[in-house]
Homo-oligomer: A and B are copies of this chain.
Amino acid sequence: EKKGLVVTSANNDFSMNIGGRIHADSTTHLNDDLQKRSSGDPAEAVSGTELRRARLALRGSFNRDFSYNIEADWGGNSVSLKDVLVTYQASPQLEITVGNQKHSVSMEVEESSNDIMFNERSLLSALTLPHFDRAMGLNIKTMGDNWSLKGGIYGDAVSSSGDGADEGGGFGVRGSFAPINESGKLIHLGASYGLRKANDNNSLSNGKTPRLRYETTNMSDLYLSDTGSIAGFEEIQLTGLEFAAMRGRFSAQAELGQASIKRDGGSDLSFNAHYLQLGWTLTGEARNYRGSDGEFKMLKPRNDFDLAQNHWGAWELALRLDELDLHDGDIDGGSQQRFSLNLNWYLNANLRILFGYSRAYDVESGPVIQQGGGEADNVDIFSLRTQLAL
């Protein structure tokens, strides 16, 4: 557990933990002298600094079986409510949660941004995040030490769509099973399926434009692949398969995803993405896996950083290969592959620093091209993050 304070009432009947999160980023691009394919206008990536996440959270429990979480993010000076929910623990194996929460899809989405080994999620998130991130819903979860099954129905985002029509909705279900789950030894298998219908105007799904794309960093405003807004967007289905394994200091994780889109007045569309990532803790620690959630949690250093004792925390090397294909039928959002290498320094249970490098390659048919002409290939991205998690 990361360090923090839990204040508890005298009779143990009420508890509160006040949490916070800082993700302070600095990013740079190389080889990004690009222009828009359509207009020829310059389309350089915006590099610089950003508070990617700045959050406060109130979490705790009451009346023994109930717990709550109110978490808001003000990164970039805009409000974004995160987990805002109440959970009822009906039995040790059954939880019911109401409120704003993540859809039950994709291991990578379920894992916290505090805990993943990279600065940003993979190209697969171009399919998962736009429509299957958090929504208002009702979720039921049943779990054991090495398995979980979670499913729920969801309305739309936390605000009114304001689009002059009824909002859409959907559901998501995810199961995970770890036939091997011992300290430092793991085989994880998982699968998920989600479906969302757009609103009655076919113009919004979970508060977002019906569009799939991937930004090189959260602040770059550069999308090397982008379907644009898909007219007549009726429904999106998401299917995913997960695999993970761990042996001591080494871990592997992979996901395959497919998004299928039904359109009003157009053929169905199908887009694909996947990633494979490998982790190697240079200082020897094994990563933490929680079987009842089917996800990895943040690595804890064996020895916290302390100059006086010549302790240097934990160091981790992570490699990721991912691919995204947004071309199908009359929609050509392009395709790309990406290679990411991260060196992560865990100073202690609350603080880590991420040095990330990525290269986007085999970029084809995207919305931008090089200024001299030619595909926007081999764009390099450097990202430095200081992360505090309370």
**Given A68-B22, A74-B72, A167-B46: A7 in contact with B7 (beta carbons within 8 A):** yes
List residues 308-348 of chain A with CB under 8 A from any CB of chain B.
Answer: 347-348
A221 to B42, CA, bound (A): 35
Cα distance A221–B164 in the bound complex, in angstroms: 8
What string of 1s and 0s marks CB contacts (under 8 Å) between A45-86 and chain B?
111111100111010001101101010101111111100111
Which chain B residues border A4 with CB–CB below 8 Å? 14, 16
Tell me how far the C-beta of A171 lies from the nearest C-beta in chain B, rounded to whole angstroms: 13
Q: Are B68 and A77 in contact (CB under 8 A)?
A: no
Copies of this polypeptide in the complex: 3
Which of A108-116, A153-161, A241-249, A280-288 sits within the interface? A153-161
A293 at the interface (CB under 8 A from B): no
Residues of B within 8 A of A227 (CB): none
CB contact between A46 and one of B166, B351, B386 (< 8 Å): that residue: B166
Q: How large is the interface on A (under 10, 10 to 19, 20 to 34, 35 or more residues)?
A: 35 or more
Given contacts A22-B99, A54-B72, A70-B54, contact A48 B161 (CB under 8 A): yes
Q: Does A38 contact B (CB under 8 A)?
A: no
> Is B86 touching A46 in the complex (CB atoms < 8 A)?
no
CA A340 to CA B83, docked complex, whole Å = 31
B348 touching A99 by the CB < 8 A rule? Answer: no
**Chain B residues whose C-beta falls within 8 Å of the C-beta of A72 in the assembled complex:** 54, 56, 74
Q: Is A22's CB under 8 angstroms from B70's CB?
A: yes
Chain A, residues 133-157, CB within 8 Å of chain B (1/0): the string is 0011100000000000000001111
Q: Considering the chains assembled together, what is the distance between the CA atoms of A270 and B75 in angstroms?
A: 35
Q: Is the CB of B51 within 8 A of A136?
A: yes
Nearest residue (CB) in B for A307 is: B90
Q: How far is the CB of A94 from chain B (nearest CB, A)?
A: 11
Contact digits for A1-29, partner B, Cβ 8 Å, 1 yes 0 no:
00111010100011010101010101000
Q: Chain B residue with minimal CB distance to A215?
A: B160
Interface status of A364 (Cβ within 8 A of chain B): no
A344-387 interface (Cβ within 8 A of B): 347-348, 350-351, 386
A176 at the interface (CB under 8 A from B): no
CB <8 Å contact, A46 and B348: no
**Interface residue? A255 (CB, 8 A):** no
Contact A159 B18 (CB under 8 A): no
- In the bound assembly, the distance between CA atoms of A386 and B97 in angstroms comes to 11
Name A3's closest neighbour in chain B (CB-CB): B14
Q: Which residues of B contact A13 (CB under 8 A)?
A: 3
The answer, yes or no, to whether A390 is at the interface (CB within 8 Å) is: yes
Q: Is the CB of B164 within 8 A of A24?
A: no
Please report the C-alpha to C-alpha distance between residue A266 and residue B159 in the assembled complex, in whole angstroms.
38
B7, B54, B65, B161: the one within 8 Å of A158 (CB): B54
CB distance from A47 to the nearest CB of B (A): 5
The 10 listed contacts between A and B (C-beta, < 8 Å) are A7-B7, A24-B98, A26-B136, A43-B164, A49-B135, A49-B158, A50-B136, A54-B81, A86-B386, A90-B307
- Lowest 7 CB-CB distances: which A-B pairs, in order? A48-B167, A49-B155, A160-B219, A49-B136, A76-B159, A51-B158, A47-B166
Given contacts A18-B18, A63-B305, 7 further A-B contacts (CB under 8 A): A22-B70, A43-B164, A49-B158, A50-B136, A51-B158, A76-B160, A77-B159
